Structures are given as structure tokens and as C-alpha cells.
Structure 1
């Protein structure tokens, strides 16, 4: 399958694409919607020690992050289907209200149970908001502006990575960890106002795939998906390598069972062509999933590597890691004006090769114990995502029409989150087997084994990226 893209004689700058013809309000929705999710992911991790000191329940700290993740993936998965049936506006309003209620409950929590309820509501709201942002791109922007939208969103992630830890520290020091949750209240109210005034209320025309009897098994399908995500996420709490292996294998198996079951339903949540080994959507989703898996090791161990191997402070290590986000944004803005379809296809492929190079350079950095090589590897990894991500998502969004398009674009966020969860679990298993990280040890990674064991972990991640590159080269060219 190919997708067409009408030629444009004079490519507009990314900024004009985002603001002309009244699009600045749509761009504001994108910034606030994706920005709130990215900022909260950095903030919640940073304040976790203060929450545990105040509310207790260290043995259940895992759930504070995992319930948010599970809620986000479940809500994001069903968003495309729901948007096709009831429209984006009521969904966005419901999501903003869930985010608002969750932030208030979490900020006012006087027990860990109340905090967990707030985090679940936050996750449901945030997951749906992010997926709606992706599904709304084709509704609110012309196709020639889509690359600029994704460049904007990558910049939002970079800013969140840069100011997230600092913001968390300032709010906690000046008041308490509760301020981090209360700071979401005006943001949620603004999203609610924008949802009412800017987002279209129209729905897709009902098709056979959206009006079938498959709605009867919605709860069982979502329950199976929830169990799968929970098992994969729980790997981070396990200490025995046999238990880690079992949870990871069973969780991934259940995840693919849930996907297979959903695709056979007459009312699926994800596009029917997802994960096929042909076509833009099938191969594009494999590329997205595999790249998310391969990038997780850097996310999980990058900051610890900076502290343990090179003696950086927490802040220094966090900003060393932020280089990936900054190079991602820079590359995304540089290529955002590219409108030629075959060049966009070429950039997807080159981007995957750059990500492979980033993993191989990380191997070299660990072998040589070189901070500078590690920083260069971060640049390659970020630039690879910056070159490829926006055009990959654009291809997936425009490969289908109507409700299938809503499902495809709405599933991008959950797919990336699931890939990160699988990748983090796999990285933990590999690190434990090689001695790069010892479960239960005081430090996340071991200095003694870093040079001998760490390179193998990142070699396997490079191999996973190579599978993504093969899928990218097999993807049909955009015409």
C-alpha cells in the first residue's frame, strides 16, 4: 500500500505550518496534551522518595508508576475506536476531567491507596489525551504540516527532559511533593476549555468494522491486555532471574494473544493490518515497537551509568541523558520541511541506521569507559529518532482512511509505551544474566562488570534495532 502526498511548490517553515490559518490553537492543544504526559512522567519519578517518606508503603511503590502506565496504555488503545463512534470532543472532555480529578486526588491523598486511585485516573486521562492528539493531527492539519507537528512534539519531550527534574525539585523544596500534582489542575482546566472550543465534534460514518457484535467482548479483551502489561511492568520489582524470565515471557505472550484476539473481533481497537509483515501499517508498527524496545536500555541505565561509571551528580547525569532528547528535536526540526515522499522514506531508513550506530557506540563507550563516546552515542540515537519518527508516524496515520485511520493513529502512543515496558523488562533480564546489574544491589549497575558485561546488553539492543531497520527497508515507499 502506498500513500499519496500532493506536491507543494514552496515548502513552508515549520513555524508557519503550525500557526497559519488559525492552527495555533490546535498546536497549543498538541503542546499541552503531549507536554502534560511527558512532564508528568519525569516529575512522578523524581518525587517518588518524598511520597514514600510521607505516606509510607515502600513495598507498594511499584504501583504508583505502574497503575499510571497501565491506565495510559488501556485508555490509549481504545481511543481510536471510541473517537470513530462518538467523536473527539466528548472523549477529550472526559479525558481532561479524568486527568483533573486524578491530579486533585493524588495531590490531596492522605494514604497510598488514595494516591494510587489518583494515579490510575491520571493515567486514563493522559493516555487518552495523547492518543487523541495523534488522531486529531489528520483532522486539524493539512498533510504538508504533519512533519512540523511531530517536530513540535519532539521539542516538547526535549523541554520536559530538560526542565522536568529541576521543576520537581523546586516544587518539592518550596512546598511539598503535592505541588507537583496540584500544578496539573490549571493545565487540565485549560485543556478542558480548548476541548470545548477547538476540537471538532463530528464522528466518522459507521462502517461494518465499527458496528459489529465484537463490542460484547470489550472487557475480556481489555482485561487480557491489562494483565499482560502488568506482568511486563512487574519485572522491575522481581529479583530472581527465573521469575523475571517467566513474567517477561508470559507477559509478552499474553500481549500478542490480546492483539490477535482484538484483530479477529468485529469491533477492534487496533487496525486489522497491524503487525503484518507487509504494508505500511504492518511494517511501520513493527519498526515503532522494535525501536521502542531497543531504546529502553539507555532510558533505564543511562543516568546510572553517568553516576556510577563517570562520577556525575544526579543533575549532571540527567542532563547528559537529555542530550538524546535535544538531538532528537534538532534533527526533527531540520528535516521537518522535507515534503518529497521518497526522501521521507529514505530518512526513515537512515534514522534506523543511526539508532543502530548509537547502540554500537554505547558498547564502545562501556568497553573504553569513555564518557565522551557515550555522549556521542546519545547524539546518534536522538538524531536517528528525530530523522525517522515523524515520517514513520505520518506514514502510519495516512496509510488508512476513516475509522481505521483513527485506530492506527490512536494506537501509536500505547504501542510506544508497550515497547518501552517490554524493552525495560528485557534490559533488566539481560543485565541480570550478564552481571551488568545485580537485582537487589545498592547501585543499579555494577562498576566492576560494566566494561565486560554492559557491551553485550547494548549489542543485543543493536540487534533489535537491526530488525527494525530490516522492516523499515521492507516498507513500501511513500509516493
Structure 2
């Protein structure tokens, strides 16, 4: 599918751009707005042990469909795939608002993730179709602003809906925005589709789904629902391992692989992708569990919890702009190291976080994480795109997007497993595990339910949640150190 650059100028590009930005906003805001509302959602629906699955389901289907939707857009055109993505996303959002159980919400989040998998890559592709090479740099600034706006507004909107309306509006607010984006693309974006022979790597998609889905289940249920030393766990580990082996084998021999491993020969791409995988774990760890600490341990409102996430959202776009300028002065490696150092500072602040530190301390840690994310992400994307030619640039960028999303999915499940395991162990050590389970921590996230607990039970639950979240934040610090070590292996100049 191609659009002639001359003809593209006759399109109503400002209206198309606005529609694309609305579509991107839907997918971008989901992480922070849902994270802020999650304590209230769990308090209403129950199922604290499934907390991480609300994020894992969305990220899993998102990561699994990003590459295949990119392929489908080459066959059927950008417009039908983008419209399909918006429709599926709105379907999942509408049903999520009507969820009456954690299981139903998780299923609806998976549907949302499928839609988001079409929105993000196709939006970037459409921009490449209708704007010239000289114009794209300016337009990319507009697209980057979507992430900044969504990151800042997400926690605030989430806190507002929870405190003054209900958590259902976190999902239903997508409906009017999505309809506007859908109509804009439908009415103003026109393309000439050129028929070409393409093959879709269905076996690769299948093996990837089996491997990643099984891994998610292992990390969430390991040590809680399924003992680590059980036959069932060994079977799951075996299935996941075989799935990954068959996926790699398929991608090495496929004519049009979903994940072209040839791009990994560039040291810049290899290091950046591994660091992005790790950064995705940090990002989901902060956005998922910081509200739980502020509300469940510190006892503050959802709005205050949203504030602590907003500081990360403020630091990210500021650092991205500064990092873009630093790249031209000190290079990718030095700029990335500054970002990696900021991640470590944020990790240390979270490691030292305690109930008496207050939300300002939590907000400071969140801010430094945002600065680190902004600088490293900008350096990685620009470095990756400069390391390859034009024909490989789209694939290399999509692979980095996939790695970051996959990291978030693995991080949500892994850190959720750590949290559940530590709380369960704490309850067993205090001899109340028979009467109180991990799910009882739901009550800490609801002020009235928390007050209904006896003083002793409430204190033990808060101490158990504090202990579990401290383990999560210890993991975040270790991940930040790993990213800094990886950055040290970036090439000093260019790619070699």
C-alpha cells in the first residue's frame, strides 16, 4: 500500500493527524488511568491475587498483535486495520465498564489489548505515508506530546473518576474519543492499495502466544496457586520453554518472520532492545503498584496516588526534549547513561520508601524514574533508527516497541508473583493464613472495609503489604542497575 507524496498533500492532513492522535491517546492513557483506579476496582470486585493480570492481559495481547497488525496493514491497507483496532478497543472498553468480576475485567482488558496492538504501529505508519521526510520530524513532536498529555492526565482523570464518579468511567470515557477518531479516519483518510504478495507468519504467532502466555501464568500463579515444586509447574515450564525454542527456530527459517533476528547484529539495537525490555518491567512496576502503596499502606486517597504517578509523567516528556538536544552534543551513550543514572536514583528512593515517608517522597522517586525513561527511550529510538537503512527502519522500531511491551507484560506478572508470594509468606509466619488470604488485602484499599477490620488484623495486613511492596521496589532497583550496565555496552559513536 502506497500513497503518492504529491497526492498526500491534497488530503486533509490536519484532520487525519488529529484523528491519529486521538487514537494513540486511547492506547497511551490506558496504563496510568487504569493503574490509578485499580485499588478501587479491586476493592469493589475482589480478586487481589489477580491484580497483575489486569495489566498482563492487556500487555500480552498488545505485544502479541503489534507485529502481525503491521503485516496486515501492508496487505489490506492502513485504514481498515486502524479502524478495526479502534472498534475492538472500544468494544473491550465498553464491556470492561460492565464487569462484575475480576475474571470478566481481565477478559475485557485482553480485548482492549488486541485493539491497541493495531492502533500504535499503524498510527506511526500512516504518518510516514502522508508526510514527507522533512515534515516527519515536526510531526513526531506532535505524536510525542500525546504520550506526555496522556501520562499527565491519566492519573488525574483516574483519581477524579474514582473519587467523584465511579471506576467504570475510566473505561467508558474512551467511547466518545474513540468514535471521533474512527469517524475522522473514515471520512478524511483515503489511500490507494497496491496488491502485493505477502505471507503472514502464523506459526510464529502461535508459538509466541503459547510461550508468553504460559510464562505469564507461571509468574503469576507460581508459589501461590501452583507450588513451584509440583508436577503441574514443571509441565508449564516445559511448555513455555518448548514454545520459545520453536518460536526462535521458526523465526530463523520463516520467509517473512514476525521478529527478524537479522537486525540484532547491530550492537546498538541489541543493547537498546534488551534495555527496553528491562525498562518495560520498571515502568509497569511503578505504575501498577505505587497507587497500592499510597492508598493501602499510607492510607491516602486515589487522587493523591494519582499525583505520585503524575510526577513521573512530568519528568518523562521534559527529559525526552532535553535528551533529544543532548544527543547532538554528547551522543547516544552519554545521554543514555544520564538516563540510567536517574533510574537508579529513582530505584533507591523507592527502595527506601516507607509509610512514614509520605506521598512527596513517593512522587520524587516517580519523577526520577520518568526522567530516566525519557532520556533512555529517546536515545534508544534515535540510535536504532540511525543504525539501519530506511528499508529496515520500520522493522527495527517495531521490534523495539515489541520488546518494551513484552517487558511490561513479563514485569507485571513477575512483580505480581513476588508481591503475592511475600504477602502469603508473611501471613503464614504470623499464623493467620488459615483465616485471611492474599485477597483479604482488598479491604486495605477501601476506607470503610479497612476500618471494619480488627486493629490487629489490619496492622498485620498492612505490614504484609508493605513487606511485599518493598520486595517489588527492591526488584525495581536491581532492574535499574541492570539497565545502567547494559548502557555501558552501547557503542560510543555510531553502531559497530
The normalised TM-score by structure 1 is: 0.74
Structure 2 partner of 1:222: 205
Unaligned runs of 5+ in 1: 1-20
Counterpart of 2:478 in structure 1 is 460
Query: Does residue 163 in structure 1 map to residue 147 in structure 2?
Result: no
Matched residue, 2:7? none
The question of whether the paired residues in 2 share the 8 Å contact of 1:367 and 1:452 is answered with: no
Q: 1:259 to 1:156 in 2, by over 3 A?
A: farther
1:94 to 47, 63, 84: 84
CA distance in 2, matches of 1:459, 1:52: 27
Q: Assess if the C-alpha contact under 8 Å between 2:63 and 2:405 holds in 1.
A: yes
Q: What does residue 147 of structure 2 align with?
A: 154
Matches of 1:427 and 1:112 in 2, distance apart? 19
Partner Cα distance (2:73, 2:412) in 1: 31
Match of 2:446 in 1: none
> Taking structure 1 as reference, are residues 368 and 184 closer, same or farther at Cα in structure 2, changes over 3 Å only?
closer
Distance 1:428 1:296 in 2: 10
Q: Can you list the C-alpha shifts for 1:161-211, whole angstroms capped at 9, x where unaligned?
A: 3333135326844xx82x5544333322222223235556356896xxx84
Query: CA separation of 1:434/1:477 partners in 2, compared to 1, >3 Å: closer, same or farther?
Result: farther
Residue 152 of structure 1 deviates from its aligned partner by 1.0
Report how far residue 431 of structure 1 moved: 5.0
Which residue of the partner structure matches residue 33 of structure 1?
Answer: 23
Whether the 8 Å CA contact 1:232–1:421 is kept in 2: the answer is: no
Match of 1:265 in 2: 254
Task: Give yes or no for contact 2:315–2:367 (8 Å, CA) kept in 1.
Answer: yes
Q: Does the 8 Å CA contact 2:266/2:495 hold for their aligned counterparts?
A: no
1:320 aligns with one of 291, 308, 319: 308
Secondary structure at the aligned position of 2:340 is classed as helix
Instruction: Judge conservation of contact 1:63–1:116 (CA < 8 Å) in 2.
Output: yes
Note the C-alpha offset of 1:49: 7.9
8 Å contact kept, 2:418–2:468: no
CA distance in 2, matches of 1:110, 1:360: 39
Q: 1:427 aligns with which of 389, 405, 415?
A: 415
1:262 and 1:269 in contact (8 A); partners too: yes
Aligned 8 A contact 1:55 1:110 in 2:
yes
Counterparts in 2 of 1:368 and 1:404: CA distance versus 1, 3 Å:
same
What's the offset of the Cα at 1:150? 5.4
CA contact (8 A) 1:438 1:444 kept: no
Q: Which of the numbers 211, 221, 224 marks the counterpart of 1:240?
A: 224
* CA gap 1:54/1:308 in 2 versus in 1, 3 angstroms: closer
Residue 330 and residue 24 in structure 1: after superposition, are their counterparts in 2 closer, same or farther (change >3 A)?
farther
Q: Which residue of 2 aligns with 1:9?
A: none
Aligned to 2:292: 304
1:380 to 368, 384, 396: 368
Alpha-carbon distance in 1 for matches of 2:354, 2:46: 37
Question: Mean Cα displacement is larger for which, 245-254 or 279-288?
Answer: 245-254
Matches within 5 A, 1:6-21: none
Counterparts of 1:385-396 in structure 2 under 5 Å? 385-396=373-384
The aligned length equals 447
Cα offsets for 1:300-345 (capped at 9, x unmatched)? 4322333455443333123113211111122224445667386455
Mapped partners of 2:469, 2:176: distance in 1: 47
SS for the counterpart of 2:481 is helix
Length-normalised TM-score, structure 2:
0.72
Alignment correspondent of 1:231: 214
Matches within 5 A, 1:341-360: 343=331, 346-360=334-348
1:5 aligned partner: none
State whether residues 84 and 406 of structure 1, in contact with CA within 8 Å, keep that contact through their aligned partners in structure 2: no
> Which residue of structure 2 aligns with residue 84 of structure 1?
74
Q: Could you tell me how far 1:384 is from its partner in structure 2?
A: 1.4
| Aligned ranges 1:286-305 → 2 under 5 Å | 286-305=274-293
In structure 2, the partner of 1:332 is 320
- State whether residues 130 and 413 of structure 1, in contact with CA within 8 Å, keep that contact through their aligned partners in structure 2: no
Deviations 1:240-272 (A, max 9, x none): 397469599668746754355334311112333
CA gap of 1:416–1:116, structure 2 versus 1, over 3 A, is same
2:94/2:175 contact within 8 Å kept: yes
Alignment correspondent of 2:494: 477
- Whole-angstrom distance in 2 between the partners of 1:265 and 1:388: 32
Counterpart-to-counterpart distance in 1, 2:424 and 2:314:
27
Query: Once the two structures are superposed, what CA deviation does each residue of 1:72-91 show, in whole Å capped at 9, x if it has no partner?
Result: 22221212222333332221
Query: Does structure 1 retain, via aligned residues, the 8 Å contact 2:28–2:150?
Result: yes
Report the CA distance between 1:99 and its aligned residue: 2.5
